[in-house]
Amino acid sequence: VGIVTLLTDFGTEDTYVGQMKGVMLSHDSSLRLVDLTHDVPPQAILTAALHLRAAWEYFPAGTTHLVVVDPGVGSVRRAIAARYHSHVFVGPDNGVLDGALAGAVPDELVVLDPELIGAAAISRTFHGRDLFAPAAALIANGAPLTDVGSIADPEPIVRIDVPVPLHENCGIRGAVLMIDRYGNAMTNISADLVAQPVQHIASGSFSVGQLSGSYSDVERGEPVALISSMNTLELAVRDGSAMTRYHLEPGAEVSVSFTQTNDPAS
């Protein structure tokens, strides 16, 4: 059974997502269609990339991931399909796939060809429905990538800047990447970077003296820093919102300092 995940900035008030699903089911009514989210802020490519990065590996090998956050629709940006580790990613070549793959080079890349897809007369405003959805359906139905596009060099897909953490004197300086529904702040600091004893973790007025194991290690309403389900440093408030309490937002600087090893010579 072919599985297609969908991730867009279309929202759920309109029927844009429904139209894409109709097109896919018209190609293959047995496809399994799974929504990741459609509430990406309009045209927020980085947010979409981070969401897809967080989710795609949990799906079975062979899954096709359709991502449509496409401010350049109708312009010259390429429409691509990329295979990576037995998953296929379909979407505009605007950085969203690069971000989803964390900069990894795809194993195979094609530039979508409307004629191969049977979508010669496509709208200029909704390639999600007229180009990407039929391409994803064909791929999920088993078509090789070369059935939907022309092979291109996997290397030069459009890159996206994701803030990277910096090593500092006895510490790490990173940033908040996303705030989740609970007001938890997800940072760009991976778990392995904070594997040594922590002295202090701060972002603005958020400040804790240690890395905790779970929310329940602190009292209700208290700040807590822990390793998130994405295996990165997360700043939270137990049973509350770190975003609201400490005014955390994407881009906010996060600093981690480590316990100094006592050096007898100093």
**Chain positions contacting its own copies, by CB under 8 A:** 1, 3, 5, 7, 9-16, 18-19, 21-23, 25-26, 29-30, 32-39, 42-43, 51-52, 54-60, 63, 71-75, 123-126, 129-130, 180-182, 213-217, 226-229, 231, 234, 239
* Strand 108-112 versus strand 166-168 pairing type: unpaired
Q: How far is the CB of 26 from its own copies (least distance, A)?
A: 5
Q: How far is the CB of 212 from its own copies (least distance, A)?
A: 9
Tell me whether residue 96 or residue 109 sits nearer to its own copies (CB atom): 96
Tell me whether residue 133 or residue 172 sits nearer to its own copies (CB atom): 133
Q: How far is the CB of 252 from its own copies (least distance, A)?
A: 18
Q: How far is the CB of 166 from its own copies (least distance, A)?
A: 25
CA dihedral 83, 3, 48, 171 (to 10 degrees): -70
Tell me whether residue 163 or residue 183 sits nearer to its own copies (CB atom): 183
Tell me whether residue 109 or residue 194 sits nearer to its own copies (CB atom): 194
Tell me whether residue 7 or residue 82 sits nearer to its own copies (CB atom): 7
Q: How far is the CB of 217 from its own copies (least distance, A)?
A: 8
Contact residues for 111 (Cβ-Cβ < 8 A; gap 6+): 78, 79, 80, 93, 149, 150, 152
